Chain A
């Protein structure tokens, strides 16, 4: 399900609106994931506090959204552009790739809440496709 030119322009335009609230969205999406999908907490046993709104969650949500924002910038070449992050996830973090879909879903829920008028079905499909392509690029080096 490759990204069309229209998908890319819709994502870029929407991300222009999101970027101002990126930290809030990232923290909230991560908090939702840890709460609604408790099995994902297994990757963060080194954090003192896993509750939504906690410092580690806010900081890591910010890191993730920053990386996604960078990915928008390399949307024409996600595999190459995310190569270093793919190395990190494949060889160091070893997050099961099934979890990328889970986090993506929680990002979509958070976007729907914060941008109820802008997150139309057309934007939803483009962002969903983008996050899927990003997840595939992140999993590229796994095996």
Chain B
């Protein structure tokens, strides 16, 4: 089972407690689709993704960014059991959506950068460590049901 220090627990709860999900979700997903354009392969039916402006203005990207962030919030609410919490989501991503798990890491990196930009100096090295540990565990849980 994952061991969380008090600092890590409080940090994750605090970050997500103060986060504007409607801003961060879409920003992270659109950044991922722009910076790592091959990730667009999973969004063939999202309409116009032809350039950065189109991606940032795309309502389906925005909606999906919010969906992804809601998934993360689920993990925040179940920090001591992320593995079990994400079993169904893992099956969905592997068997139905067929997403290469490397993409989870790319999105996690983009989310880290977006959160860092929003939080500024408050995103200290220790906070970054806690945030990235949380995302690594989420990514690992999403990968678990891949066979």
Contact = CB atoms under 8 A, between A and B. Distances in A.
Contact of A32 (B109, B121, B125): B125
B33 to A, nearest CB: 9
Contacts of A52: 125
Given A35-B125, A36-B125, A116 B35 contact: no
A120 B31 CA distance: 9
Contacts of B94: none
B56 A119 contact: no
Residue of A32, A108, A116, A121 with most partner-chain B CB within 10 A: A121
Majority SS of interface residues in chain B? Answer: helix
B30 interface: yes
B110 to A, nearest CB: 8
Interface size on B, as a range, is: 20 to 34
Contact of B128 (A35, A121, A122): A35
Majority SS of interface residues in chain A? Answer: helix
Interface in A30-75: 31-32, 34-36, 52
B57 to A, nearest CB: 12
A109 interface: yes
Contacts of B120: 113, 116
Nearest to A126: B35
B112 interface: yes
Interface string B110-125: 0011101111110101
A121 B56 contact: yes
B13 interface: no
Nearest to B33: A121
Interface string B62-106: 000000000000000000000000000000000000000000000
B116 A125 contact: no
Contacts of A128: 35
B65 to A, nearest CB: 13
Contact of B116 (A35, A112, A122): A112
B117 A112 contact: yes
A121 B30 contact: yes
B143 to A, nearest CB: 19
Given A36-B128, A112-B114, A124-B34, 10 more contacts: A28-B125, A34-B125, A113-B120, A113-B123, A120-B52, A121-B30, A122-B34, A124-B113, A125-B34, A125-B35
Interface of A: 28, 31-32, 34-36, 52, 105, 108-109, 112-113, 116, 119-122, 124-125, 128
12 contacts: A34-B125, A35-B128, A108-B109, A109-B112, A109-B128, A116-B118, A116-B120, A121-B30, A121-B52, A124-B31, A124-B35, A125-B35
